[in-house]
């Protein structure tokens, strides 16, 4: 495959292809077959993986973070997906979310869909090497739906390097420099392209467990040469290498809370709200149930010392308060406290405590949508978020939170440091960002990028002022 020649199709081609793809069944039986056929094509079963080496492809290699998550450059990935499988991916998206470029099923906005898009086998090229029959699918929730419905084909991807090993034994335990799974996020609704990366950097520099991130350009060949899909942020998967490398082992229970019950409101526990990502075969949520019990114990009001002891025995409250301080200083409305998702809980084998891991930061570093991000004193917090309201109301926990707020603004989110960070990253990615083309971008004009960088820099200054006001009142 020639990955050096860039072939970008004009937007009119995208619209033309989409109109053909979405034509109704009554108009064209052949096109109707394409729309409804989401069957994955498995071909070339007898290929030989000639680029395979232990360092680059084997699960015997340790994760190479320096290679995959390099902050100093924008790297390039190429996907090659057969035309039939690409059409199957688009057909599946149509079945899930309605016609491309149309606002929901019947124009009624976002749909409540629990099903993930389908995986297809595709080849991944990086730095002159090929990874074979990698599982590729679109990923996301509301961001995926909205991008699709807005007619923007710059969609996020999930990569699983041995997803199809049963069909292709040649790729058994295939890895990408030690990584089995990766997320390639499309920087949805972020004209700076920096929020996902910078927010993760701040959490990491604060000493909290968080995914590594890096910038990549993506080109996709789905039958007619490589097309530039834009500038993406590659994100380490929590249930792959993070819990194995940032904790003593990956043997503990890992949960990805979502929706009902994930607020920890009293009486809302349910297994469906705490999706297990490890130890899935063990029907045991006793650690989560113990957290509910400790959090809502009567001793919270009658004997705070005993209540704290009970809570500290099941939840790493220090990590949670540290996370809470960082998250509230930098601001992120799309997570716990406003939305019941975008975090993980890991039962750390070192201390048997549930440990908070932040996730998904493309809506961070801004005052926020909906009712806005939480105030530093949580004066705009509703009563449905007891992990915040109960701990903040306790004088011992509040003192720890306040200390972490001050530590954050003086350290990892110091405004002087942030101005330099924004300038450095903006210089690194600008050419890749403004090179995006209509139909594959969230920019309206190239000037949007620099305006978004200026907004981030102003935000950092405003947060320093907000912290000062909070701590001095």
Q: What is the pLDDT along the chain (473 residues), one digit of tens a residue?
A: 444 333 333 333 333 334 334 333 333 332 333 445 789 999 999 999 999 999 999 999 999 999 999 999 999 999 999 999 999 999 999 999 999 999 754 444 566 677 899 999 999 999 999 999 999 999 998 899 999 999 999 999 999 999 999 999 999 999 999 999 999 999 999 999 999 999 999 999 999 999 999 999 999 999 999 999 999 999 999 999 999 999 999 999 999 999 889 999 999 999 999 999 999 999 899 999 999 999 999 999 999 999 999 999 999 999 999 999 999 999 999 999 999 999 999 999 999 999 999 999 999 999 988 789 999 999 999 989 999 999 999 999 999 999 999 999 999 999 999 999 999 999 999 999 999 999 999 999 989 999 999 999 999 999 999 999 999 98
**The CA-based dihedral angle spanning residues 438, 441, 444, 448, taken in that order and rounded to the nearest 10 degrees:** -140
Do residues 320 and 288 share a domain?
Answer: yes
Q: Is 292 within 8 Å of 254 (Cβ atoms)?
A: no
Do residues 90 and 233 share a domain?
Answer: yes
Tokens 């993986």 map to which residue?
A: 49
- Is residue 203 one of the residues assigned to a domain? no
Q: How many residues in total does the chain contain? A: 473
Task: Count helices and strands (H / E) in the chain.
Answer: 16, 11
Do residues 174 and 320 share a domain?
Answer: no
H or E element at residue 131: strand 129-138
Do residues 153 and 27 share a domain?
Answer: yes
Mutual orientation of helices 195-205 and 317-330 as an angle, nearest 10°? Answer: 140
- Is residue 19 one of the residues assigned to a domain? yes
The domain total for the chain is 2
- Is residue 143 one of the residues assigned to a domain? yes
- Is residue 415 one of the residues assigned to a domain? yes
168-194 exposure pattern, b = at least 16 Cβ within 10 A, e = fewer: beebeebbbbbbbbbbbbbbbbbbbbb
Do residues 223 and 334 share a domain?
Answer: no
- Is residue 3 one of the residues assigned to a domain? no
Domain that holds residue 360: 247-473
Query: In sequence order, which residues have a C-beta less than 8 Å from that of residue 266 and are 6 or more positions away?
Result: 292, 296, 386
The beta-strand segments (E) located in 162-202 are 181-185
Do residues 223 and 338 share a domain?
Answer: no
- Is residue 199 one of the residues assigned to a domain? no
Do residues 333 and 220 share a domain?
Answer: no
Cα separation of 155 and 142, whole Å?
A: 12
Do residues 235 and 258 share a domain?
Answer: no
Do residues 318 and 429 share a domain?
Answer: yes
- Is residue 280 one of the residues assigned to a domain? yes
- Is residue 192 one of the residues assigned to a domain? no
Do residues 87 and 142 share a domain?
Answer: yes
Do residues 123 and 220 share a domain?
Answer: yes
Do residues 236 and 285 share a domain?
Answer: no
Q: What is the DSSP letter of 416?
A: H
């Amino acid at each position: 495959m020639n990955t050096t020649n860039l072939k970008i199709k004009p937007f009119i081609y995208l619209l033309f292809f989409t109109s053909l793809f979405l034509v109704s069944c009554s108009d064209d039986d052949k096109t109707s077959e394409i729309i409804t056929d989401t069957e994955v094509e498995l071909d070339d079963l007898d290929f030989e993986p000639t680029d395979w080496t232990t360092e680059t492809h084997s699960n015997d290699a340790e994760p190479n973070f320096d290679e995959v998550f390099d902050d100093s450059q924008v790297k390039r990935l190429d996907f090659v997906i057969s035309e039939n499988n690409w059409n199957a991916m688009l057909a599946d998206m149509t079945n899930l979310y309605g016609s491309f470029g149309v606002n929901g099923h019947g124009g009624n906005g976002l749909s409540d869909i629990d099903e993930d898009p389908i995986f297809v086998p595709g080849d991944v090229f990086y730095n002159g090497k090929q990874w074979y029959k990698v599982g590729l699918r679109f990923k996301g929730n509301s961001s995926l739906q909205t991008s699709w419905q807005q007619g923007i084909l710059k969609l996020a991807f999930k990569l699983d390097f041995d997803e199809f090993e049963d069909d292709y034994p040649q790729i058994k335990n295939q890895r990408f420099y030690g990584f089995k799974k990766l997320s390639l996020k499309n920087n949805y609704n972020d004209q700076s392209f920096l929020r996902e990366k910078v927010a993760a950097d701040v959490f990491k520099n604060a000493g909290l467990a968080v995914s590594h991130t890096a910038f990549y350009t993506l080109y996709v060949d789905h039958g007619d040469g490589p097309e530039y899909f834009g500038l993406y942020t590659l994100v380490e998967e929590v249930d792959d290498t993070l819990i194995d490398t940032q904790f003593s082992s990956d043997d503990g229970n890992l949960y990805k809370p979502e929706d009902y019950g994930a607020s920890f409101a009293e009486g809302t526990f349910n297994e469906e709200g705490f999706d297990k990502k490890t130890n899935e075969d063990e029907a045991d949520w006793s650690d989560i149930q113990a957290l509910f019990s400790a959090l809502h114990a009567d001793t919270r009001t009658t004997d705070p010392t005993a209540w704290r002891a009970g809570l500290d025995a099941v939840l790493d409250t220090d990590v949670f308060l540290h996370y809470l301080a960082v998250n509230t200083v930098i601001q992120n409305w799309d997570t716990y406290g406003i939305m019941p998702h975008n975090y993980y809980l890991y039962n750390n084998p070192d201390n048997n405590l549930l440990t908070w891991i932040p996730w998904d930061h493309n809506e961070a570093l801004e005052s926020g949508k909906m009712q806005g991000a939480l105030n530093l004193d949580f004066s705009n917090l509703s009563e449905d978020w007891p992990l915040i309201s109960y701990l903040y109301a306790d004088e011992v926990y509040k003192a720890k939170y306040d200390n972490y707020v001050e530590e954050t603004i003086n350290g990892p989110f110091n405004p002087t440091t942030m101005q330099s960070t924004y300038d450095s990253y903006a210089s690194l990615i600008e050419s890749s960002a403004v090179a995006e083309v209509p139909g594959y971008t969230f920019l309206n004009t190239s000037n949007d990028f620099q305006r978004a960088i200026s907004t981030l820099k102003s935000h950092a200054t405003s947060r320093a002022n907000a912290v000062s006001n909070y701590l001095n009142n």
